[in-house]
Structure 1
């Protein structure tokens, strides 16, 4: 009986034992697998970090996230980022990680040219990325820099420029090590990739911030630069503009015979066109108030007629009050607007205006006026719907919140209309909700009668 033969494979003789070195040929394959696993891990890390970054909606939040992610990538514990666009148009900011405000102040006392981030911001040719692995042993280090480093307890730094295609250089980030150290080549590669993406994201936020600043500037220019002084009345106003620029406005103007006109309103829409419409309506209302302010219904009727002729695609809410401080008498009319509140020691209540549609919604607006008399020391609080909408609650609950906020004004603040406006604003919109990005403007106008 013949011995069975093993099957052959092309190019190999199975009857010949493998050489001893064949087992070692698996090493390159394992090395490649390890390298691929490392790349996958790095890509996953970058994806997670950039996802966190893209969720930030403000420059400050993005700068904080940039510092946290960069510190994790280079193995540092502290750092700072300086936002300083090369075109000089701002905004500028300095944010720290693990550094108190006083620590940042100490660092800023070092001559800028002696710091790694300063070399980047000044555009020195060797400042693409600046690593200082041992600050205290660097013989060329500025003495003041050495003193600050010793005081704050950092011994090494690694800095990167923040750039973008549109603006070029927009800032610099530097991470600080507690001991002499520097990032590995792999760490430098990863943080470099992250910084390039962060630069583009910061650019988008920078453009948005500049647009918001322009919108806020235009909105403020369209509103009263100062409130008038009228005997028997103290006035205060608070205004928050949404990021796209809404159409909310307020006004207070001295009228003949010691009278005072108070107005708040809101134009539909947002952006430059809404701001322009708001400016036109506010100017028109001022003119009508001077001519026939003692009849608020006539003022709003004329404004509604003007809107139908010049702003046919828009609607607006408005409230106008004609005040005679000497007699403590107020006559007001509202067009689809939030009614005013009367706040005093003995009462806190809405002054109910008759139900009416906003201006521009019907073929002809008409509603009766309301007359009331504030008592000495009482404050009349006018506001726009944005204050209610920013709460995110149904309107009935938002109204209840507004009333509760007004009723909770401490007795010691009742003689200061500005303090009343602030209390109501921050109580209705707590935890910074009055300052967050919102499509809604907020206007509060407070008038305290002696």
Structure 2
């Protein structure tokens, strides 16, 4: 009778005899990995850290120009070059190409443009088949002047600009396609190492995705700005006794701030500013409807601003009950220098002249869409000869980042500081006020507020 088999345990074969001898204790600690392996690991960590920092800096860019500049500088650092050239041109796009240089002045770029495109590595990267090896790995020209087949004009330009080698890389990815290409120039013969090519290739693919997003974002912003401008007056009317100037900027998402100036019977003039709540296409569409409706009411009963805004309130409450808006309408008789205005939740106008700079005392009223009945009467005042009436939306105040009381004080100070030589030019008045209120300019990409300023100078 055979002996019973011992049960099998995972990883142990019971039929293999177990040695009765114990292993000798370790008397020496195993040697650490060699210096070569340590150096290689340290190099990998350093490369990954550098790549991470560069991609983080690129991701922080919010505009296309900033991203292109960052890409050129980062690529030059990765391949060890001092100068470079980038061309952004998406196939099939109606957007004109963008050319940007690093360490190259306008005259240098002009010289480079005289070289036939097919004779340069950048041209071959831009025009070659997307699936070609060059389109993936880039084109290195380690010794331009030593190349016997180099285009004579290219040789002349390289000698003039003082570069002896180049490395061109496409800006392409599977998702975004090919957006353009970049080339970096070396002062001496040379080319990037295999490791440098790998790192700059990884960076370029990430940069391409980022550039594609920014390109679409800027195209959308341009479309929104175009639509917003089309909804506003294409030109301001010319009425004897008064001169007009307007400045308007739409936020990146599209907003509902608007203005209008329309001639009325008997040489009168209607001025209006307003703001629709919300942002985006819906607010822009509501702004267009509100402005068109106010124009119709102003033509019918413009001499009574309260009636105009009352009709507008009723229309908004019946057609768009979930929408609110602010508005201010002023009926002006320039010959008599008489202004009658009414406002619904809107900021008061500012009067600027040689002897005064003050806000017009308007009656308080809730915004349109929030009124049970109209109770705020109109206000009448007479601007003196040479005075300017400044209408604006609260976006001008909000863009300052200050509390509203401080923003009002800042606007008053900005208007009061207009040089006397400029106070008879409404365009100069608006520009000075905007510079004083918004030192960073109207086109800040990080602001979502619309800005409207409308100035009427009475002769």
Query: If the length of structure 1 is used for normalisation, what is the TM-score?
Result: 0.91
- Which residue does 1:238 correspond to in 2? 247
- Which residue does 2:120 correspond to in 1? 115
Contact 1:85–1:167, Cα closer than 8 Å, also in 2: no
Structure 2 residue 192 is matched with structure 1 residue 183: yes
Q: 1: CA distance between counterparts of 2:119 and 2:412?
A: 57
Structure 2 residue 420 is matched with structure 1 residue 411: yes
Detail structure 1 runs of 4+ shifted over 6 Å in the superposition: 25-28
- Which residue does 1:275 correspond to in 2? 284
Change in CA separation of 1:425 and 1:95 when aligned onto 2, cut-off 3 Å: same
- Which residue does 2:220 correspond to in 1? 211
Q: 1: CA distance between counterparts of 2:101 and 2:191?
A: 20
| Structure 2: segments with no counterpart, 5+ residues | 1-21
Question: Once the 2 structures are TM-superposed, how far is the Cα of residue 96 of structure 1 from its aligned partner?
Answer: 2.1
Structure 2 residue 365 is matched with structure 1 residue 360: no
Contact 1:335–1:359, Cα closer than 8 Å, also in 2: yes
Match of 1:155 among 164, 174, 177: 164
1:257 counterpart SS class: coil
1:333 counterpart SS class: strand
Match of 2:390 among 372, 381, 398: 381
Question: Once the 2 structures are TM-superposed, how far is the Cα of residue 447 of structure 1 from its aligned partner?
Answer: 1.3
Contact 1:80–1:174, Cα closer than 8 Å, also in 2: yes
Q: 2: CA distance between counterparts of 1:402 and 1:147?
A: 58
Structure 2 residue 444 is matched with structure 1 residue 444: no
Match of 1:265 among 256, 260, 274: 274
- Which residue does 2:18 correspond to in 1? none
Structure 2 residue 95 is matched with structure 1 residue 90: yes
- Which residue does 2:17 correspond to in 1? none
Change in CA separation of 1:293 and 1:165 when aligned onto 2, cut-off 3 Å: farther
Structure 2 residue 68 is matched with structure 1 residue 63: yes
2:47 counterpart SS class: helix
Structure 1 window deviating more from structure 2 (91-100 vs 342-351): it is 91-100
Question: Once the 2 structures are TM-superposed, how far is the Cα of residue 361 of structure 1 from its aligned partner?
Answer: 2.3
Match of 1:430 among 436, 439, 450: 439
Q: 1: CA distance between counterparts of 2:229 and 2:265?
A: 26
- 1:241-390 paired onto structure 2 within 5 Å: 241-390=250-399
| Structure 1: segments with no counterpart, 5+ residues | 1-6, 19-24
Contact 2:252–2:445, Cα closer than 8 Å, also in 1: no
2:112 counterpart SS class: helix
Q: 2: CA distance between counterparts of 1:164 and 1:352?
A: 60
RMSD: 2.2
Query: If the length of structure 2 is used for normalisation, what is the TM-score?
Result: 0.89
Q: 2: CA distance between counterparts of 1:49 and 1:86?
A: 27
Change in CA separation of 1:196 and 1:345 when aligned onto 2, cut-off 3 Å: same
- Which residue does 2:5 correspond to in 1? none
Change in CA separation of 1:76 and 1:393 when aligned onto 2, cut-off 3 Å: same
Structure 1 window deviating more from structure 2 (363-372 vs 253-262): it is 363-372
1:283 counterpart SS class: helix
Q: 2: CA distance between counterparts of 1:154 and 1:49?
A: 26
1:269-301 superposed Cα distances (whole Å, 9 cap, x missing partner): 111101100100010010111111111111111
- Which residue does 1:169 correspond to in 2? 178
Q: 2: CA distance between counterparts of 1:75 and 1:38?
A: 16
Q: 2: CA distance between counterparts of 1:411 and 1:110?
A: 54
1:136 counterpart SS class: coil
Structure 1 window deviating more from structure 2 (231-240 vs 90-99): it is 90-99
Contact 2:84–2:184, Cα closer than 8 Å, also in 1: yes
Contact 1:87–1:167, Cα closer than 8 Å, also in 2: no
- Which residue does 2:107 correspond to in 1? 102
Q: 2: CA distance between counterparts of 1:393 and 1:110?
A: 53
Change in CA separation of 1:164 and 1:371 when aligned onto 2, cut-off 3 Å: farther
Structure 1 window deviating more from structure 2 (115-124 vs 289-298): it is 115-124
1:148-185 superposed Cα distances (whole Å, 9 cap, x missing partner): 32332222221111124444111111112222221111
Contact 1:390–1:433, Cα closer than 8 Å, also in 2: no
